[in-house]
Chain A
């Protein structure tokens, strides 16, 4: 496999009207250029992150100060609360983590990093974004219909999600489901493109082991997504029929089984965690090698652990269902597989840490984010062990401990991973440098309050606080002043963190217009995207590159420079 070196495919003629001045319409609204489609995903993802963040603000205010008029929302009713937590979860995973980490970075980076001029299927790529955009519209519509938005949690367990008489959202739940299904279609199309492009369009000379880790990770994530999403799409269709046509797939009164949905959902849902984790790990790998000026420690090991994680992730889903009424003997099997998956993930973290050894570390803003990813993700990783161990999960299941745990994984993935990537590739994307001082203020203003939000929630979880309750005053043991103080601490930290995001927005917008012009390769990196102009024009490279070596040849002894671009002949 490693011997077959692909040559450049002929550029699809219809997709690339090179050097022609394009209209605003065809350049920004219906583009075929992978970079512009990446931007569309990026900006849609950022907009959705603001929506998801606003929801979090609203329900955290309600939890800290029950019954107040939340500025910007008003009184939070129980139905509001359920809809807010449901859609906060769904948005942050399906409409933020997925479009930003996989679609935005994948679209922008894959053709540039493997040294070709565009995706293999530019029109499918455009269709992918259009369907994604449609899914956003459908999701928004679900808030506007009679009965209000769906509030049955992002996991949408039937019978609550299946029957309007239980959920009280006859249209909201169907539109929500439709939006999720459309989003899946968008990412299936995008994933096909990523896999095909990375396998077929690599620059001459780029062997399998010369592909940058982030490209590998996005490709693996796309494969995992394709393999896992089928059962859930089937489940979504069945659930939709239950909602709208009155079938009984999940209705026990007519021979259906509500637990079946949980299997279909988590068979997708757990690999999904790794679908977003792997690209974030890839981004971190690129950044730490550049700013430690080090070759990635054991490149092949990283790759194999990612493969291992991918395969194992299909065997762990029922750890979400230990207490859901499955046969108790099943728990043993899933405890073992779940704890096994800690091994490749731990190994990946060890590899990244080992990469720092002997390095020459510069703590630039992207490097701070990349290092913070490792430091914070470790907390998410180790707390997961408590939940994977069946005996301990009896207590922790559906408690705030779970909530804090997965925010310590998803926040590093979706937010820290995003900031790491955007601060690192911003010069390439927009041709200007971000302000480093504002970047660092934003970094500390995000990381410190982030821990302030979620560390208290671990304690609340240990104290037995269960999830998705709009007001804990009904539970005497949870309504103590000490526990309420922790809730207030979490909410205040959230307010501080959200406030500091303005620093990023200011930095982003100001740098777009007035930032220092970025040189072609500001970080002195090896990978091919840095050998294209900043920003790369339509078609990416003036002459398509040929690859001579792996992506991480930093500080090679005997060379004058401490970096060695993949396409430099000598």
Chain B
């Protein structure tokens, strides 16, 4: 349903789309049924001359079951939705798979900055690559992100990953994603953060291993500098 409007580019995007489809089917059924009954009743029981309305209290068991049975069925649907929602939530937000790489994402008024590990694959070393408004990722690599903010609340939102997570100053929030398709996509701030909120746009660039290696070679601090730092 959603992938027609927005590409699906993370390992868990199909699960979130599936959950949304499940909910759409269940509530769509109830919605259409209820509206159909509703409009049918309006048409069927329009006032006619000389015909009086029936006197129904709705307090008797035989009458009340018209309410209680649908009510129980709604509850059953709710259980299906809860189970689906909990499973997807656990996978995306609660459970952290082993990371192959870690990136740091920092929100501030009004830009995103990113710290990528350099060729050594680790953060906080001399070859880290820092960028502004461009997050470079490699396809089919499981990333952890460390999200924080320098000032106010921001929200990391990558629609193609189906991911949103608020950034809070003073906290580092850890989460994960695994890009599954190459491409360049919008990266948004989804929490109002002041007058520049509307221009706090960034891009996520998902590359093949070769492209990613080339980008890293081009942008990593020169080896001599890195070596000097290590020494």
Contact = CB atoms under 8 A, between A and B. Distances in A.
Interface in B103-137: 109
B94 A329 contact: yes
A339 B81 contact: yes
Interface stretch (B33-41, B138-146, B215-223): B33-41
B38 A375 contact: yes
B81 A468 contact: no
Nearest to A341: B78
Contact of B82 (A79, A335, A361, A555): A335
A394 interface: yes
B56 A160 contact: no
Contact of A363 (B15, B46, B160): B46
Interface stretch (A94-102, A236-244, A381-389, A419-427): A381-389
The 5 residue pairs across chains A and B that have the minimum distance between CB atoms: A252-B170, A391-B88, A464-B159, A358-B54, A297-B58
A386 B85 CA distance: 9
A358 B56 contact: yes
Contacts of B201: 474-475
Nearest to A297: B58
Contact of A391 (B16, B34, B47, B192): B16
A353 B41 contact: yes
A259 B153 CA distance: 9
Chain A interface category by residue count: 35 or more
B42 A371 contact: yes
A371 B46 CA distance: 13
Nearest to B78: A339
B231 interface: no
Contact of B171 (A81, A159, A292, A325): A325
Contacts of B162: 394-395
A335 B47 contact: no
Nearest to B46: A361
Contacts, number: 294
Given A350-B70, A362-B47, A392 B23 contact: yes
A347 B67 contact: yes
B93 to A, nearest CB: 4
B214 interface: no
Given A82-B195, A151-B192, A389-B19, 15 more contacts: A293-B53, A294-B53, A298-B64, A299-B59, A323-B93, A323-B155, A331-B89, A346-B71, A346-B74, A350-B66, A379-B31, A391-B19, A391-B85, A463-B159, A466-B157
A355 B199 CA distance: 51
B186 A463 contact: no
Nearest to A336: B82
Interface in A458-499: 459, 462-464, 466-471, 474-478
Interface of B: 1-2, 5-6, 15-16, 19-20, 23-24, 26-28, 30-31, 34-35, 37-39, 41-42, 45-48, 51-59, 63-64, 66-67, 70-71, 74-75, 78, 81-82, 84-89, 92-94, 109, 151-153, 155, 157, 159-160, 162-166, 168-171, 173, 185-186, 188-199, 201
Nearest to A81: B198
B197 A389 contact: no
B23 A385 contact: yes
A126 interface: no
B183 to A, nearest CB: 10
B4 to A, nearest CB: 9
Contacts of A259: 168
A335 B87 CA distance: 12
A562 interface: yes
Interface in A354-380: 354-363, 371, 374-375, 378-379
Contacts of A294: 53-54, 56
Contact of B151 (A159, A300, A301, A394): A159
Contacts of B85: 335, 389-392
Contacts of B94: 328-329, 331
B133 to A, nearest CB: 11
A551 to B, nearest CB: 13
A392 to B, nearest CB: 5
7 contacts: A323-B155, A335-B85, A357-B41, A360-B45, A390-B93, A394-B16, A476-B186
Nearest to A379: B31
A271 B48 CA distance: 42
A324 B153 CA distance: 9
B45 A361 contact: yes
A157 B58 CA distance: 46
A343 interface: yes
Given A356-B41, A476-B186, A323 B153 contact: no
Nearest to B187: A475
Contacts of B5: 459, 462-464
A121 B162 CA distance: 54
Contact of A392 (B31, B75, B88): B88
Contacts of A329: 94
Contacts of A459: 5
A300 B59 contact: yes
B94 to A, nearest CB: 4
Contacts of A51: none
A200 interface: no
Contacts of A325: 165-166, 168, 171, 173
A483 to B, nearest CB: 9
A156 to B, nearest CB: 10
A136 interface: no
A374 B38 contact: yes
A137 B73 CA distance: 50
A478 B185 CA distance: 10
Given A353-B34, A462-B1, A475-B188, A391 B86 contact: yes
A409 B216 CA distance: 50
A478 B35 CA distance: 33
A355 B1 CA distance: 36
Given A166-B194, A390-B89, A298 B67 contact: yes
A554 interface: yes
Contacts of B1: 462
Interface string A131-163: 000000000000000000001110001111000
